[in-house]
Amino acid sequence: MQHDYRHVLATALSRIRAKIRYTSIVFDLLPRYFTLLHLQQAMEALAGRPMHKQNFRRLVLQQGLLEETEQMDFSGPGRPARLYAADNQGQDNCYLAGAKSPLPDLVW
């Protein structure tokens, strides 16, 4: 019985890892408003690999998939983080492959 659960979980994770290449599925796993750090942590968890912080942020912002909000997250130490929302119009044309995306098989 335990083996079946591990197989189901492994299959689900591999399908999500494949889908983050060509869909905006990661935004469905995040709250409505999120920081870039939350987005990066979600991508790293799905990909199973760390990503270079500055490259990740630059490439994600260049894709036009996010809307910057006026809200800030004051929950962490240090400077407050800007909150972002997923841009629904940008998601329709979302293709997260090639050099402009934080792909799971790349380690930055």
Residue showing tokens 């408003």: 33
Per-residue pLDDT of the chain (108 residues; tens, 9 = 90+): 567 888 998 898 889 888 887 787 888 889 999 999 999 999 898 888 899 999 989 988 888 889 999 999 998 888 999 999 988 665 555 544 333 444 444 444
Cβ-contact 90, 6 below 8 angstroms? no
49 alpha carbon, distance to own chain's centre? 12
Q: For the chain, which domains are there?
A: 2-100 (1.10.10.10)
In angstroms, the CA 56 to CA 40 distance is 7
Q: What is the number of other CB atoms lying within 10 angstroms of the CB of residue 108?
A: 13
pLDDT of residue 49: 86
Q: Which pTM was predicted?
A: 0.74
